[in-house]
Amino acid sequence: MHKIFSSLRFVSIFTLAIVLVGFFSYKNLDKKHFYVENPSEQSIPAAAYYKNFPQNEKSPAVIELGLYIDNLYNLDLKSMSFKARGWLWYNWTKLPMIDGEIDSGQMGLFDLNFIDETSVNQVISSKQNIPYTSNSGVDTFENDTSFDATLSASSLNLRKFPFDKQILQILVTDPVHTSQQLIYKVKQFRLPPSRFNMPAYKLNGINFAEEFRIYTSNFTDDSNVLLSNDSAEVQSQASFNISISRNTLTSLLEYVAPVVLVTFMTLSLVRLGKDYWEVKLQTASAAILSLIFLQNSFKQGLPTLSYLTCMDIIFLFAYLVCILTFVDGFQLELSKNAVRYNGLYGKLGIAIFIAAPIGIFAWLSFPL
């Protein structure tokens, strides 16, 4: 009885240790995610920017902006990228100026979060901006730009993979105008469900936000610039956000089921008697090799990560169960009194196999 309680205590401590490792590694990741080398370089909401610099709100030209996605496809976790094709439409009543001069040829050129600008296809629909009179009687111009490009998905967080939820962002800035010359006012974002083509994920929703991106370089020399004294270069940025999540049943069948099957087949030999110690050793060894093969196969589709994923935790439990089964067979062979050997390590493996869902659920419960 004492050995049983010791085994249960070990399982509890092991599960708690995994949860604590996940918690503290998340805390460290959270700090690094938002403050990489330079804590001042970031994007902030437009409302926060104008609260600190209200004088910059009325002087720039206002560009009303909308985005229609015709195809969202080819999410590649390995390269942390995805592809998008669509149109950016825009209208304005006052053209932005650079050094006091208007250059209408700059309208319609956008910087998105391109992963490779050499393969960007960006075309302005009309060479001449289209004039019209708005309902308020103000002379207005409009145009649109089509694009087809590979975009960066740098905000991916794979700690809950393969049960992950992601936010894909399409970030739009102007390549030449600062926030004192041009600001974006987002009016519309459309992504028809039929245009969402990422089979492993489902579309949960879309939203947009108006932001400002702060560059802590003056692009001239090595002098320091700060947002606090309005010396940093700032650009208006439109953020179009797409919320997606992986199908739970698909993840269970594709990723979790093979690992559980290999582990369960190993555990099924625990109750065999002393005459089958060799079978236990061979089966456990084969199971460990199978887990290594499965883990390497799954890793092929992921980038190199500095943190553990939920799939890593699942494999950790599986490895531990198979190793305990191996030790159980080895101990059975070495025991001088094998008839009375109570199979402690095998029972401990069964206990960990039963407790594993609790540890995995705790890992997934963290708001990562």
Q: What is the pTM of this model?
A: 0.80
Confidence band, pLDDT 50/70/90 cuts, at residue 341: low
Express each pLDDT in 250-268 by its tens digit.
Answer: 999 999 999 999 999 888 8
Distance of alpha carbon 332 from alpha carbon 186, whole angstroms: 70
Distance of alpha carbon 257 from alpha carbon 241, whole angstroms: 32
What is the reported pLDDT for 101?
Answer: 59
Distance of alpha carbon 50 from alpha carbon 212, whole angstroms: 10
What is the reported pLDDT for 39?
Answer: 47
The answer to whether residue 159 scores a pLDDT higher than 90 is: yes
What is the reported pLDDT for 107?
Answer: 74
DSSP for residue 307: S
Cβ neighbors of 124 (< 8 A, separation 6 or more) are 108, 109, 143, 144, 145
- Structural element, H or E, at residue 202: strand 201-215
What is the reported pLDDT for 261?
Answer: 94
| Highest averaged pLDDT of the listed ranges 220-224, 309-313, 335-339 | 309-313
Distance of alpha carbon 3 from alpha carbon 340, whole angstroms: 15
Instruction: Report the range of poorest mean pLDDT among 67-71, 127-131, 205-209, 238-242.
Output: 127-131
What is the reported pLDDT for 318?
Answer: 94
| Highest averaged pLDDT of the listed ranges 32-46, 222-236, 348-362 | 348-362
Architecture of the CATH domain 2-27+249-365: Up-down Bundle (1.20)
The answer to whether residue 120 scores a pLDDT higher than 60 is: yes
What is the reported pLDDT for 186?
Answer: 95
Listed by start position, the domains of the chain span 2-27+249-365, 38-246
Instruction: Report the range of poorest mean pLDDT among 86-90, 134-138, 211-215, 244-248.
Output: 134-138
Distance of alpha carbon 326 from alpha carbon 302, whole angstroms: 30
| Highest averaged pLDDT of the listed ranges 125-129, 168-172, 302-306 | 168-172
Residue range 104-123: average pLDDT?
Answer: 79
Express each pLDDT in 199-223 by its tens digit.
Answer: 889 999 999 999 998 887 766 666 6
What is the reported pLDDT for 30?
Answer: 44
Express each pLDDT in 73-109 by its tens digit.
Answer: 999 999 999 999 999 999 988 777 666 556 655 677 8
Residues 284/346, Cβ–Cβ less than 8 Å: no
Residue range 339-351: average pLDDT?
Answer: 75
What is the reported pLDDT for 195?
Answer: 95
What is the reported pLDDT for 14?
Answer: 54
Nearest to 235 by CA among 280, 291, 184: 184
In CATH terms, is domain 38-246 a member of 2.70.170.10?
yes
Nearest to 185 by CA among 297, 349, 72, 66: 66
The answer to whether residue 317 scores a pLDDT higher than 90 is: yes
